[in-house]
Structure 1
């Protein structure tokens, strides 16, 4: 007796349904995709019983001809492609030809369609096909799905309640409504109209639809638009002032397909890192357009997962898009107001040259952190080192290693000098700097400001290929690491070297023989352990093999932020007037002067009007 048997077609379809039809929302997704592919300009979705009782999707597309109706319920029957080569240029939603066959195998499916003035009706009841009969309707197609999993109680019991399943349907429906502004969408639940999205002027991601779907004000949605390497990124991100430790909403699309990709979420989170605390989560709608041959949509029947040919380029482009958008729409107004408030009473020559870069000298200066190949610099480093009882040997530099110059455009330097030269600067509570301008006052967190300054210096140096100055440790620091950590650290050893660490990996043992000059010995083990964890956690988006891009390397950013923190003015550390003033001047030279590397606020601005109001002088 043969033990291997060919499965019955109905059994095969029910197995396939397990992949395609996860829940009622999966059916809505497949049917709406078919309507869009049919060229519909209006799509109406009606739900009963959370989609378990009834789902109806009606469109005004081109319809299905009578001779094609039986094939609509067959597996691998599709009008979207005919050869394998078509997959590389695919722009339609559907293409596998599995959806209706799988859906009709586990429900009662009815198609009423009109094509070329001929209306037809056909039904498939859990795989049993009826005869085609004449129907009556306008141009387009109506597909009705009833009694989902009615004959398969084992599948039905895994569904949630009607309300929960309806929420999943709403998510799918609204995603398509956001993607297709040129289509009129409606959604009804239990006979009640829920959404009505008329045709919009914007073909994709109309701001009014985004605002309505996520119940936010249009003014709080910051637009995103960026292009690089042939990758277009656009969408909206919620204003940072409204973000918190949970994401209010997040949707991502690639070539107009709703996509689930953790890398996209992390890329957006990296993009907001300079603007909010690091535990805040982004709320955004991100759409990516890329050449069809750069993305494989044939990964899973549900088509919510894709494979990108160069994922790191896509992730980097998303991060750039977010950062550019926030810098243009948030940072510039803040910085510009500050300049306007006191530029009327200052001159470029009023700066005392002795005060220039006093903060840089406060912590050893920029040259103290990077090799310049001179004995003077090394001697200066040794003077500055606080070794806490441990003995270090300074490592000599190579003639080929680049020298840090940290050049800043002269007009920005002059502007910063002009700004601070006439301002009054004092300290407050041992941890804040108070800066008085002509018509406003800034209260500045001195530690956060110092962190930002050092962070941008280190970051720029890393991007320019410079190497942090090292100090040898006489007794190597040893850590036990897992096999996964070994692989990740081995792959990224050059990064550790550029950050000032010399490490040797031998099996499960990690030996550290040199550390950055400015770091305290007693903090190294914790820093290394945190660094290793970041490497492992974000290995999928770290150190792209395609593009060595700082903005796509979240853990590298965190490591450099930690180093900057270790090397910055502390809270309650007493500063001279020159040092305090120089911190403000150096802060104004930063690209992101309003938040520390961990996202904490640096500056609290109070206008003259606000202060007068408190004293009732307005």
Structure 2
């Protein structure tokens, strides 16, 4: 049997480095977090060849006296924790005492530091100097790292191109800059300045967001400022129209710490479920504050993951807060909101601010057009009844009364104008063209009607359940024996959504009732798709499905809404189109259909003038 031997300390450090240091950006992360813990409000990062050849981090923090510098490079040495109680309520970003020891074991590391009251600084080169030597230096600390992985060639081979490695560093610095707006950051790559982010006050936070994520994100942002049960969430979520092809603009901070956590990602993604296409990703900058004892940050070597004591409670809180922000018809852009507090906190030494009730904000109207959209000022008669009439005509293909199909003289744009304006034409049997104060509004009639119907179905289902109305002529379906068995298994779930059916033979099913607004739908296709949706419900541990069907109710109602909505090439009259526009203004999340596609777009008169070069 091989003899058990203690590993040499140098090998122990290299093994630890394998956990902490994946690439140059990992080194930058550890060094910048140390600088933030040291109270720095100015951090300068310089990188050569993507950080593989050289990288350095300089700060203006409190620095170290010379007798402390050798200990800073030793493993498991830290000034941030003293006992188990400190470990269970970590308030600093770094605390393990492994970073510098790990980094110096796989690179050539030089440490320069000076305290504010010292006459000069001190320099220590790991593996070369036994004691620090005097050197000119500014107050603060400089950590210079060269030839990363020079003594671990197997690890160095796994590094990517210089451009890729620098891209990770650039993205990391932007995330850290958003988490710490009161700190100035600069980044230089191969002698060229890339980032220069001055410290900002809370009131000017949008400048940093625009500088790091772009103005387009800020223009599409919706405010979140929520608090409950010792949790506070503040920040911005982008509207679904801004959805991305990657997760590059998903930033989440827990007590000032940048984290990527599956529970958090799931909660936010679920909040977007009704309004985001499945192939796209939401964008957000969110900061969660809670008691440090309620979260364990010591579950991952790089501190990139956390574990919450009440994971379910945190998940539900995040979901509800984001869901409410997305449901607000006004979009709630944070920029310029009168009397609004900054939606993203400026932390003071990473101590959570006092949790306070969520601030209420007026929606500002529908889609940012104005404030009167939800007040009922623009309702001409019972538009809800007009819309039900429109649904009842779903597939008859009538033209509008008089004149060309779907076209009538529009209402004049005088006095008060609703946010989505007044319809002027139905284009190609698909798009509603409307005019409002700003210009042209284009609406996808089917997508908009689908969202309106879906929200109504959800509201009725949760308030009192959906009730079916008998069909004048029941619909018989030919099915396989297996499908017929499945219909019987899910008959209660069908009934709960207002669809009542009976098995009338080994391979026959009869649909007797459906909700009123779905009576003109393709009943056979509707029932078959509902069955397919229900059959995707997993079995519970006891072999039953009923306990988890509620988790898929929204998907089932979405299927019903799709079948019950206006179809393409169905010509609409002016009254019908205006009824739909007014219903959109009253409906939450009506700017996206159930599948995450936009329902409308607007073009201002100024944009149209530019298209046709008017005034040029």
Q: Could you tell me the TM-score, scaled by structure 1's length?
A: 0.70
- Residue 82 of structure 1 pairs with residue 85 of structure 2: no
Matched, 1:106 2:106: yes
SS in 2 for 1:28: helix
Question: Corresponding residue for 2:168?
Answer: 168
Match of 2:412 in 1: none
Equivalents in 2 of 1:474, 1:590: separation in Å?
38
- Distance (Å, rounded) in 1 between the aligned partners of 2:427 and 2:81: 70
Distance 2:169 2:440 in 1: 51
Question: Which stretch shifts more, 277-286 or 14-23?
Answer: 277-286
Q: Name the Cα RMSD after superposition.
A: 4.9
8 Å CA contact 1:264–1:318 kept in 2: the answer is no
Change (3 A) 1:616 1:216: closer
Give the deviation of 1:188 after TM superposition. Answer: 1.7
Range that drifts further, 52-61 or 210-219: 210-219
Equivalent residue number for residue 121 of structure 1: 123
Q: For the Cα contact (< 8 Å) 1:226–1:321, is it kept in 2?
A: no
Q: Which has the higher helix share?
A: 1
Q: CA deviation at 1:253?
A: 1.9
Aligned to 2:453: 454
Q: How far off is 1:277 after superposition?
A: 5.0
Q: Deviations over 1:409-458 (max 9, x none)?
A: xxxxxxxxx979x9778755444556678997765433223212211112
Q: Please name the residue that 1:295 is paired with.
A: 295
- Offset of residue 564 of structure 1: 0.9
CA pair 251-275 structure 1, distance change in 2 beyond 3 A: same
Shift of 1:17: 0.8
With over 3 angstroms needed to count, the CA separation of the structure-2 counterparts of 1:221 and 1:453, relative to structure 1, is closer
Tell me the distance in 1 between the aligned counterparts of 2:20 and 2:259: 15
In the TM superposition, what is the alpha-carbon distance from 1:267 to its structure 2 partner? 4.5
Residue number among 558, 566, 569 corresponding to 2:566 in the alignment: 569
1:47-196 equivalence runs, <5 A: 47-115=47-115, 116-117=117-118, 119-125=121-127, 130-196=130-196
Q: Secondary structure at the match of 2:171?
A: helix
| Structure 1: distance between partners of 2:282 and 2:82 | 41
Deviations 1:181-232 (A, max 9, x none): 22222222223332222221139x9322222233445862525232132433
The answer to whether the Cα contact below 8 Å between 1:476 and 1:513 also exists between their aligned partners in 2 is: no
Question: Aligned partners of 1:617, 1:587: CA distance in 2, in Å?
Answer: 32
Structure 2 partner of 1:357: 385
Whether the 8 Å contact between 1:500 and 1:514 is mirrored in structure 2 is no
- Indicate the larger mover: 31-40 or 521-530: 521-530
2:592 & 2:180 partners in 1: Cα distance?
37
Q: Evaluate the alpha carbon distance shift between residue 532 and residue 228 of structure 1 in structure 2; reply closer, same or farther with a 3 A threshold.
A: farther
Task: Note the C-alpha offset of 1:40.
Answer: 1.1
**CA shift digits 1:28-75 (9 cap, x unpaired):** 110111111011122111112222222211112111233322322222
- Residues 495-539 of structure 1 deviation map (CA, whole Å, 9 limit, x = unaligned): 898557999xxxxxxxx9999945834454554445666979xxx
Distance in 2, matches of 1:158 and 1:565, equals 49
Is it true that 1:28 corresponds to 2:25 in the alignment? no
Say if 2:24 and 2:50, in contact at 8 Å, map to a contact too: yes
1:614–1:55 CA distance, 2 compared to 1 (3 A)? closer
The 3 A distance-change label for structure 1 pair 139 and 613 is closer
Tell which deviates more after alignment, 61-70 or 23-32.
Answer: 61-70
| Structure 2 stretches lacking a partner, 5+ long | 335-362, 395-416, 471-475, 502-508, 540-545
1:75 counterpart SS class? coil
Of 586, 590, 599, the match for 2:587: 590
Equivalent residue, structure 1, for 2:346: none
- Deviation at 1:5? 2.6
Tell me, yes or no, if the aligned pair for 2:443 and 2:599 is still in contact at 8 Å.
Answer: yes
Change (3 A) 1:478 1:74: farther
Question: How far, CA to CA, are the matches of 1:528 and 1:131 in structure 2?
Answer: 75
Q: Distance in 2 between matches of 1:599 and 1:477?
A: 36
Aligned partners of 1:112 and 1:120 also within 8 Å: yes
Matched residue pairs, number?
529
Partner of residue 507, structure 1: none
**For 1:469-511, what per-residue CA distance to the aligned partner results, in whole angstroms no more than 9, with x for missing partners?**
599999797479xxxxxxxxx9x999898557999xxxxxxxx
Task: Identify if the C-alpha distance between structure 1 residues 356 and 183 changes in structure 2 by more than 3 Å, giving closer, same or farther.
Answer: closer
In structure 1, how many angstroms separate the alpha carbons of the residues matched to 2:297 and 2:442?
51
